[in-house]
Structure 1
Amino acid sequence: MRESALQRHDRLLTLVRERGTARVADLADQLGVSPVTVRRDVESLAGRGLLDRAHGSVSWPRAERPADREGPVIGLLAPSATYYFAEVIRGAHEAAARAGARLVLRISDYRPSQDRSRTEGLLDSGAQGLLIAPTWRGPEDQAEHGAWLAALPVPCVLLERQAAPGTALSGLDRVCSDHGHGVLLALRHLVEQGHRAPLLVARGDSPTALAVRAGYELALGALGLRRPHPVIDSVPADRDPAGFERAVRALQAAVASGEATAALIHNDVDAIQMVQRLGELGVRVPQDLAVVAYDDEVAALADTPLTAVAPPKREVGRQATRLLVERLAESLAAEQGETAETGQALAPGARRHVELLPRLRVRASCGAPASKTV
C-alpha cells in the first residue's frame, strides 16, 4: 500500500534527527520521492516548529537559551515525533526555550521494550530532568515495562499517560489531556443536533484510544443515553486492510439499519479514510451519518472537513515542561541547602496530576454551522 504523508514525515524527521543537518536532495533520494515533495514536507514540518530550514538544507531545531546563563538539560522521550506528539514536543520545546533550558529528544518508535534504554540514553547525554510518554498500549505494557520509572534518579513528569492507581508510578507528576471530557463534548454536540446516541468507532492500541473508549461509556451515562451498538473496533487501513474494511462495513450496516445516525471516530486518519470508503458504499456525510473525529491533527483537511475533538497537545508539552523546571529548581535549592524563614530545608512541592480540557472544533461533517469551537 502507498506510503501516507504522515509515514513519510516520520521517516524524514528520523533522518534529520539522526544527521542533525541534511540536504533536501539527499533526503529525496533516501525517501524515494521527488525534491518537490520533500520541500513541501519540510515547509509543513518547519511551520510546526519541528525542523529549521535553510537554503537547500534542513536541520533539527535547537532551543535557544539566553547567552548569559547555562540552563538545565531536559530529556524528552516520545513514541513518535509526528502526528499527535508533534504538537506535544513543540509545546515542550517552546517552554524549555523560555526557561533557558536545552531540550533533548529521543523516540521509542512505539516499542515499549525500548523505553528504558532510550531513557538511559537521555540520562547519559546529561538530562537533569525527564519528560516521558511511555509506549503503554494497555495495562499489561505498564505492568511489564513501567516499574523502572519509579526509580529514576532525576525528576520526571509523565506526558499524556496515567499510571494505574495504587502503583509506585501513580505518585509521579503527570500532565494529561482529559479525554473523557473530550468525548463528552462530542456526544453532547451530536445529541444537541438531534441525533440519537452516537456510535463509537475506535482503535484499542494506545492510551488515548483506551481513554476514549472509557470516556464513551461515562459520557453515555452522564447524558442518560443507552449504547446504540457495540463499539466498532478500528484498525489502521495500511496495516490491516481486511480489518479496516470490516470496521467500515459494520458502520455502514449500523447506518443502513437505523442504529446509527452519528458516530465518533478515533482517530483523524481512520475517520478520513472511513468517510472516503463510506462514500464509495453510498453513505453520505453528513446527510446519512454525522461524524466527529478525535485528535484534530488533519481532520480539517478532509474533502468534507471533519468536526473534531482537539486535545490541548501543545499546552500539555508546555505545562509539563514548566512543572519539570519547577521540580529542578526545588532539587537545586535542596542541594544548596537553602532554607525557608523557619530555618528548615525547603521541601519539594506536592506532586501534581494535571488534566487539561480538550476543545471541540465544529466543521461540516456533523451538519452544524462550521467555524465554531466549543
Structure 2
Amino acid sequence: MRERAAERHDRLLELVRARGSARVSELAAQLGVSPVTVRRDVEFLANEGRLDRVHGSVSWPGATDAPPQGGPASGPGPVPRELVIGMLAPNATYYFAEVIRGAHEAAAAAGARLVLRISDYRPQEDAGRAAGLLAAGAEGLLIAPGWKEPDDPVEHGAWIAGLPVPTVLLERRGVPGRELDDLDRVCSDHSHGVLIAVRHLLGLGHSTPLLVARADSPTAIAVRAGYRYALDALGLKSPLPPIGSVSAEVDPAGFERAVQALFTAVLAGRATAALVHNDVDAIRIVQRLAELGVRVPDDLALVAYDDEVAALADIPLTAVAPPKHEVGRYAAELLIERLRGGTGGGPGAGAEGPRRHVDLLPRLRVRSSCGAPSETLPNRATPQS
C-alpha cells in the first residue's frame, strides 16, 4: 500500500528530531523515496514552520549548532529547542477557528510552537492523528476529539487517557466516573449560556422560550442539556418539546420540518420567543419565517447560540457567545505550565499538581432580534472550578 504524504511527513520529522539535522540525500535513503520527494516534503514542512532548511540539509527548529552537511559537530551541540505542543481539533473553521487562534497566541506568547491536526469529525481516526502529533515532536497535547454522538466519548475516547504526555481536553467532557474525567479540561459552560438567554427573554416579558437545536455535535448536545437545566433552575416548563433542527444543506426537508414546527407554534400562540442553535440555522430560520409571514422580533423574539455570524444577519441576531478564544488560551497556558513544572506561576499547575476542570462562562450579546435595545451584557469569561 502506498504511503500517504502525512505519514511520510511524520517519519521525516521523527528522523530530524532524533538527529537534530540531516542531509536531504540521507533522509531520502532512510525513507526509501527519491531526493525530489524529500525536497518537496521539506519545503512543505519548512513553510509550516516545522523544520528549518539550509543548503541541502534540514534541521529541527532551534537546533542552530547541528552538524552542517552531516559532518562532525564543532560546538557544544544543539541549543535547547523550543517547546512543541500538539493540538487536535475537529475542524479549523466556524466554532473552532477561534479556539485554535487562542491556543496559538498563548503558545507564541510562551515561546512554544503549536502543531495542528484536523480530524474532520471522524472520531475513529483521532488516535492516529494524535500519534502523528507525537511523531512530529509534540511534548503535550490539546485534544478536542471529533465526537458527534452521545456515545462517542465511551466508544472513541478511552485512548486519550493512555497518552504518554500531558493532555488537556478542549470543549469536551469525559463521562463522570470514567478515565477521561480525571484529565485536565477547559470548556465553555453551555448550561450557563442557555440560562442567561432564557433569563433574558423572560425579562423581556416572554413566556418560556422554545428551543430549536441540532443534536449532531457536543455543543449541540450540551445546549439541549443546558435547556433542561435552565428550565429546572427557573421552575419553568416548556410549552412544547425542543424542536430538532438539521443542516439545510444536508437535509433540506428536515430543516423545513423544523421551520414549520416553529411557525405553527407561533401561529397557535404557544411561542413568542425561541433559542436557536446555531447561528447559521438561526439566520435561515428567520429568512424562512419571513417568507411565511412571521416577523422577527415583532412576532417572535429570537436568540441564536454560537455568535459566529449572528451579527451579520439582515436583522442582527442577539446571541450567546461561548468564550472560544479564551478556551484555547486557557488550555494552552495550562498545558505549558504542566510541561514546565508550574514555572508559569499557576497555583498547583505543575506536572504533579491537582488536575483542573475549568469552565468559562459565555456572555450574551444583545442585538435586534429579541426586541431589546442592543448592548453587550458584562458577563465575563471567568473560570469556575
- Alignment TM-score > 0.5, same fold: yes
Query: Is 1:226 aligned to 2:237, yes or no?
Result: yes
User: Which residue matches 1:316?
Assistant: 327
Distance change (3 Å), C-alpha of 1:186 and 1:61? farther
Q: Secondary structure at the match of 1:291?
A: strand
User: Which residue matches 1:363?
Assistant: 367
User: Which residue matches 1:247?
Assistant: 258
TM superposition score normalised by structure 2: 0.76
Equivalences, count: 303
Deviation of the 1:258 alpha carbon = 0.6
- Listed as ranges, the gaps of 5+ residues in structure 1 are 1-18, 20-58, 333-345
Q: 1:351 aligns with which of 343, 346, 355?
A: 355
User: Which residue matches 2:119?
Assistant: 108
- Listed as ranges, the gaps of 5+ residues in structure 2 are 1-8, 10-46, 51-60, 65-78, 344-349, 379-385
User: Which residue matches 2:3?
Assistant: none
Which piece of structure 1 moves more, 111-120 or 87-96? 111-120
Q: Deviations over 1:94-130 (max 9, x none)?
A: 0000010000000000111111111111011010000
Distance change (3 Å), C-alpha of 1:276 and 1:354? same
Query: Is 1:175 aligned to 2:186, yes or no?
Result: yes
Deviation of the 1:60 alpha carbon = 6.0
Distance in structure 2 (CA, Å) of the matches to 1:70 and 1:100: 10
Q: Which amino acid aligns with 2:294?
A: V
Identity in percent:
69
Q: Which amino acid aligns with 2:338?
A: R
Distance in structure 2 (CA, Å) of the matches to 1:100 and 1:84: 26
Which piece of structure 1 moves more, 223-232 or 159-168? 223-232
User: Which residue matches 1:143?
Assistant: 154
Distance change (3 Å), C-alpha of 1:290 and 1:171? same
Query: Is 1:73 aligned to 2:84, yes or no?
Result: yes
- On the 8 A contact 1:139/1:164 being kept in 2, the answer is no
Distance change (3 Å), C-alpha of 1:303 and 1:347? closer
Distance in structure 1 (CA, Å) of the matches to 2:376 and 2:222: 25
Deviation of the 1:137 alpha carbon = 1.6
User: Which residue matches 1:10?
Assistant: none
Q: Secondary structure at the match of 2:276?
A: strand
Q: Which amino acid aligns with 2:291?
A: E
Deviation of the 1:204 alpha carbon = 0.4
Q: Which amino acid aligns with 1:173?
A: D
Distance in structure 1 (CA, Å) of the matches to 2:118 and 2:278: 21
Q: 2:131 aligns with which of 110, 116, 120?
A: 120
- On the 8 A contact 1:95/1:318 being kept in 2, the answer is yes
Distance in structure 1 (CA, Å) of the matches to 2:351 and 2:266: 58
- On the 8 A contact 2:191/2:222 being kept in 1, the answer is yes
Query: Is 1:195 aligned to 2:202, yes or no?
Result: no
Q: Secondary structure at the match of 2:151?
A: helix
- On the 8 A contact 1:331/1:348 being kept in 2, the answer is no
User: Which residue matches 2:57?
Assistant: none
Distance change (3 Å), C-alpha of 1:326 and 1:82? same
User: Which residue matches 1:210?
Assistant: 221
Distance change (3 Å), C-alpha of 1:295 and 1:60? farther
Q: Which amino acid aligns with 1:73?
A: V
Deviation of the 1:155 alpha carbon = 0.4
Distance change (3 Å), C-alpha of 1:185 and 1:60? farther
Which piece of structure 1 moves more, 213-222 or 172-181? 213-222
Q: Secondary structure at the match of 2:341?
A: helix
Distance in structure 2 (CA, Å) of the matches to 1:347 and 1:131: 15
User: Which residue matches 2:315?
Assistant: 304
User: Which residue matches 1:39?
Assistant: none
Q: Which amino acid aligns with 2:369?
A: S
- On the 8 A contact 2:88/2:116 being kept in 1, the answer is yes
- On the 8 A contact 1:304/1:365 being kept in 2, the answer is yes
Distance in structure 2 (CA, Å) of the matches to 1:202 and 1:69: 49
Root-mean-square deviation (CA), in Å?
Answer: 2.2
Distance in structure 2 (CA, Å) of the matches to 1:133 and 1:160: 6
- On the 8 A contact 1:203/1:235 being kept in 2, the answer is yes
Deviation of the 1:135 alpha carbon = 1.3
TM superposition score normalised by structure 1: 0.78
Deviation of the 1:61 alpha carbon = 8.3
Distance in structure 2 (CA, Å) of the matches to 1:303 and 1:251: 20
Q: Which amino acid aligns with 1:303?
A: D
Q: Deviations over 1:52-102 (max 9, x none)?
A: xxxxxxx8689xx99996321010000000000000000000000001000
User: Which residue matches 1:5?
Assistant: none
Q: Which amino acid aligns with 2:289?
A: L
Distance in structure 2 (CA, Å) of the matches to 1:193 and 1:183: 16
Q: Secondary structure at the match of 1:169?
A: helix
Distance in structure 2 (CA, Å) of the matches to 1:347 and 1:317: 20
Distance in structure 2 (CA, Å) of the matches to 1:148 and 1:112: 11
- On the 8 A contact 1:78/1:106 being kept in 2, the answer is yes
Q: Secondary structure at the match of 1:269?
A: helix
